[in-house]
Amino acid sequence: MRAYVFPGQGAQFPGMGKDLYEQSAAAKVLFDQANDILGFNIKNIMFEGTAEELQQTKVTQPAIFLHSIALAQALGNDFKPEMVAGHSLGEFSALVACGVLSFEDGLRLVSKRALAMQVACEAEPSAMAAVLGLADETVEELCNSIKGVVVAANYNCPGQLVISGTVEAIHAACGSAKEAGAKRALLLPVGGAFHSPLMEPARVALETAIENTLFDVSVCPVYQNVSASAVTDPETIKKNLIAQLTAPVRWTQTMQNMIADGATSFTEVGPGKVLRGLVKKVDRTMPVDSAAEQVALTE
């Protein structure tokens, strides 16, 4: 089975989506719709804006979501999801791809999510850091030993775990990680402590919007960040999506479960190539490719 995976924040780049807009009529419709839904010209920022402009919270998350869904649309009949997953923000893209959310509702939720996260980030100085070369259990123990808020946030692949918390606690945890033998422990260029208890105000703000949005039954299993297991039931999907902002992204476990459940190849749908690299860290023999490459081949 082919598994489709959708990237999260950090995959953006200047000029993203311009080729899709010019080459695919289906993608062009989505870009034009997005401007109307968001109330600003995201298309121009994506196509002509600087890296700094793309890093604005209200732009970054909708831009990656829009690029991912436009790519899926551009694949046309070649896009036949049998199992899907998305990394953090990418979970919203995955839910549109498997028919749970409409494009319009997905984009509205992503926009509200981005703005709510920005408000939460401004409420308290916070940060994230990547710890490389330690077992997950070791990093978890380190976090538990640190005074203040610091938790495991992104289980990206074996030997790569992102931690999230207050600035002071993150610095302390990075020091402890290096003492414990980590290859690296480095701060990430993000606005705050995503997937930590510090995102509780954002979770509350997004919960009402999610509860008031129509969720359909998925056309295929969707592996959600919170559980890392296959889900199709709309109410369960809602519950997991609400919990996502303050819970860790169990991406390592998601990849392992998808492979155990029959995935024979992975296609990354969206900007960048981070997820393809993470799949290879879980199973170096697994075939991986990019939807962007497939679209280019068919044009």
Alpha helices in 231-273 (DSSP H): 234-243, 251-260
Residue 298's pLDDT band, with cuts at 50, 70 and 90, is: low
Pick the catalytic residue: 67, 87, 171, 195?
A: 195
User: Residue 106 above 70 pLDDT?
Assistant: yes
User: Residue 163 above 90 pLDDT?
Assistant: yes
pLDDT computed for residue 11 by the predictor: 86
Pick the catalytic residue: 24, 67, 68, 88?
A: 88
123-187 belongs to CATH 3.30.70.250: yes
Residue 222's pLDDT band, with cuts at 50, 70 and 90, is: very high
- The class of domain 2-122+197-298 in CATH terms is alpha beta
d(CA 276, CA 175): 30
pLDDT computed for residue 181 by the predictor: 97
| Active site (annotated) includes residue 171 | no
Residue 38's pLDDT band, with cuts at 50, 70 and 90, is: very high
| Active site (annotated) includes residue 87 | no
Containing H/E element for 142? helix 136-145
Local structure of 89: helix, strand or coil: coil
User: Residue 126 above 80 pLDDT?
Assistant: yes
d(CA 87, CA 10): 11
The mean pLDDT of 193-214, rounded to a whole number, is: 96
Report which of residues 107 and 78 the model is more confident about. Answer: 107
Residue 293's pLDDT band, with cuts at 50, 70 and 90, is: confident
Residues 52-87 pLDDT 10s: 899 887 899 999 999 999 999 998 888 889 999 999
Containing H/E element for 80? none
User: Residue 18 above 60 pLDDT?
Assistant: yes
pLDDT computed for residue 297 by the predictor: 54
The distance between the two most distant Cα atoms of the chain, rounded to a whole number of Å, is: 55
Q: Which residues of 27-45 are buried (b: 16+ CB within 10 A; e: fewer)?
A: bbebbeebeebbeeebbeb
Angle at 8 between CA 153 and CA 42, to 5 degrees: 135
Residue 242's pLDDT band, with cuts at 50, 70 and 90, is: very high
d(CA 255, CA 194): 21
Q: Among the listed ranges 74-88, 98-112, 224-238, 248-262, which one has the minimum average pLDDT value?
A: 74-88
- Domain extent listing, the chain: 2-122+197-298, 123-187
pTM of the model: 0.95
Residue 189's pLDDT band, with cuts at 50, 70 and 90, is: confident
